[in-house]
Amino acid sequence: MSTQVIRPARNFQGSVTLPGDKSISHRYAMLAGLAEGTTRLSNFSTGADPHSSLACMAALGAQITHTGHGPARVIEITGTAGSFIQPEHPLDCGNSGSTMRMLAGLIAPHPHHFTLIGDHSLTLRPMERIRKPLAAMGAEIHLTGGDGAQGGHAPITINGGPLTAIDFDTPIPSAQVKTAVLFAGLQANGTTSLSESVRTRDHSEHALRAFGANLYRNGDRLSIPGHQKLRAIDATVPGDLSSAAFFLCAALLFPDSNLILDSIGMNPTRASLLDVITALGGKIKILNVEEHHGELIGTIQVTTVPGGFKGMEIAGALSAQIIDELPVLAAIAPYTRDGITIRDAKELRVKESDRIALVAQNLKAMGATLTEHEDGLTIPGGQQLHGAAIDSGTDHRIAMAFSIAALRATGDTEIHGAEAAAISFPEFFSHLDELSQR
C-alpha cells in the first residue's frame, strides 16, 4: 500500500487534457469485441477498469493490439463478428462493477459456460440487479450466496443460450443495469423494451448506434430489436468528466483559480455535474464543442465567481445522476459558505467501499463536524480542515477526493492506499501537482 503526501496549495491554475472516459471506453471495448471488423480507438481510458473489459474481450476471442505511445496511442480491436468463443479461464473483471454487470448481458446469449470473477471488493457488490432481468429473458445465471436479495454477488456463473425479449422497468437508476439489458436485447429474439424512472447516462445508446445498431426512444422507454449485427468504427474517446470532477472541485477552493479542460466529454446526461459546480460558485465558459458518434466533446474554462463558495442540497434524481462525483463534493463541503447536504444516495454504500462511511471517517480525521445518514451526509460549511492520515479503503474515488480536500487544509495530508487512483486515473497525482500552485 502506497502513501501520497499532499501539501496545501495557494492556487489552482493551468490546462490539462484528461484520459478517455471510463464509461465510454468500457462500452466501446465490449461492442468492438462483438462487432465485425477492426475498431480503432484513440484516447482509450488509461484506468485499470476499462482494461479489465479489454482483457475479457480478448478471452472471448477478440484480437487486441496497442500501437503508438502517449497521445498517439491507439487500441485496435478485431471483433468476433457476433460469435464469442468458450473462454479457457474465468473472465476476470478486476475491480470493475461496470465490466461485470454489462458483460453479463453481452455474453448471456452465447452458447457457452462463463464464470465471472473479480477482486475482493467486487465480490461484495450487489449483482441481483442484473441477474433478475437476464433470467427473465431466459438466461441461466447463478450468483454466489444464492440468488435473490440476500445473496447475489460474484463469482457469477452463466450457462449461455438463446434469449427472448422482455419489457423491463428498471427498479433503481442504473446505467449498468440498463446496458446489460440492452446488450442482451441486441442479440435476443424479438424487441426488448426498457423504461427508466430516472434518466441515466446514455453512453450505451450512443455507442450502440455508432456500431450500427437500431434502437428507439419514446419518452422514458427504450426499445431495441434483436439479432442485430455490429460493424467496427474509428473513434476518439472524450476526456473523462468524472475524472475532471476532482479538478473542478479544486478550482472552487481558490478565488483566483483558472482551469482549462481540453477535449472533455460534455454528454448532456452527465452535465448535471457542471450545473452543480455552477451552483456552488464556479463560472464555466464553453470555448468550443463538437459531436463525435453522438458524444459531445468540448473545451471548457472554469473560474470562480466573486463572492464566495456557496453550498447546496443534493437529493432525489440529482444524487443518482452524479453518484460517482458525490465523494469529492462531500470532501470539499466543509470549505463552502453554507455547507452541503447529500440525501437519497444510499447506493454509495455498495460501491467499491462504503463511501458514505469512509467520507465521514476521513472528514472527521481532518477536523470536520458532520452528520452521517443512512442515505447521505449533512456537512456544515465555514469549517477549516487540517492535515491528517486518510484511509482510502483502496477506493480510487476516496483517495482522489481527499487529495482535493487536502489542498486547502492546514498542514500536510497523507493519503494511504493512494495507488487505488490507478483504477480510473493513473495520471491523477502528476496532474494534481502540475495544477497546484504552492
The rounded distance, in Å, linking the Cα atoms of 352 and 101 is: 14
Q: How far is CA 40 from CA 30, 83, 326, in A?
A: 13, 20, 33
Angle (deg, nearest 10), helices 22-34 and 97-107 = 20
Model pLDDT for residues 404-428, shown as the tens digit of each residue: 999 999 999 999 999 999 998 999 9
Q: Say if residue 155 is preceded by a cis peptide, omega within 30 of 0.
A: yes
273 and 170 together in one domain = no
The set of cell numbers assigned to 347 is 447506493
CA–CA distance from 385 to each of 144, 245, 253, 322, 404 (Å)?
Answer: 42, 20, 12, 24, 12
Q: Identify the pLDDT of residue 339.
A: 97
The larger pLDDT score, comparing residue 1 to residue 8, is at: 8
Last residue of a domain, one of 236, 263, 292: 236
Name the one residue in this structure whose C-alpha cell is 467499491: 352
Q: Are strands 258-265 and 11-17 parallel, antiparallel or unpaired?
A: parallel
Domain boundary among 221, 236, 251: 236
CA distance 106 to 84: 10
| Contact of 415 with 402, CB cutoff 8 Å | yes
Q: What is the pLDDT of residues 332-372, one digit of tens each?
A: 999 999 999 999 999 999 899 999 999 999 999 999 999 99
* Whether 232 and 267 share a structural domain: no
Q: Do 150 and 298 sit in the same domain of this protein?
A: no
The residues assigned a catalytic role are 324
Q: Are residues 229 and 249 in the same domain?
A: no
> What is the rounded (10 degree) CA torsion for 93, 98, 100, 101?
180
Query: Mean pLDDT over all residues of the chain?
Result: 95
Examine the domain organization and report whether 153 and 191 are in the same domain. yes
Percentage of the chain lying above the pLDDT 90 cut: 91
pLDDT of residue 325: 96
Residues facing residue 284 across a β-bridge:
302
193 in the same domain as 176: yes
Give the whole-angstrom CA distance, residue 427 versus residue 438.
Answer: 20
Shared domain check, 294 and 210: no
Structural domain total, the chain = 2
Which of the four pLDDT bands, split at 50, 70 and 90, describes residue 331? Answer: very high
214 and 251 in a common domain: no
Reply yes or no on whether the pLDDT at 151 is more than 70: no
The CA angle 112-179-137, to the nearest 5 degrees, is: 50
Residues 188 and 267 in one domain: no
Question: Would you state the pLDDT for residue 148?
Answer: 60
Over the stretch 25-36, which tens digit does the pLDDT of each residue have?
999 999 999 999
Same domain, residue pair 249 and 337: yes
The per-residue pLDDT for 314 is 98
Q: Which of 236, 256, 287 is the last residue of a domain?
A: 236
CATH number of the domain within which 195 lies: 3.65.10.10
Query: What mean pLDDT do residues 22-48 have?
Result: 97
Would you give the end-to-end CA distance of the chain in angstroms? 27
- What residues form DSSP beta bridges with 297? 265, 290
Q: Which domain holds residue 136?
A: 22-236
Compute the distance between CA of residue 231 and CA of residue 39 in angstroms, rounded to an integer.
8
Q: Contact, 296 vs 289, CB < 8 A? A: yes
pLDDT (tens digit per residue) in 274-287: 999 999 999 999 99
Location of C-alpha cell 450545473: 275
* For residues 228-246, average pLDDT: 96
Q: Nearest Cα to 283, choosing from 258, 318, 247, 314?
A: 258
Residues 271 and 380 in one domain: yes
Indicate whether 223 and 250 sit together in one domain: no
Measured over the CA atoms of residue 256, residue 261, residue 266 and residue 270, the dihedral's sign is: negative
> Tell me: the pLDDT tens digits for 51-108?
999 999 999 999 999 988 766 789 999 999 999 999 999 999 999 999 999 999 999 9
Q: What cell does 266 get? A: 460534455
- Output the pTM of the full model: 0.92
Which amino acid, one-letter code, is at 149? A
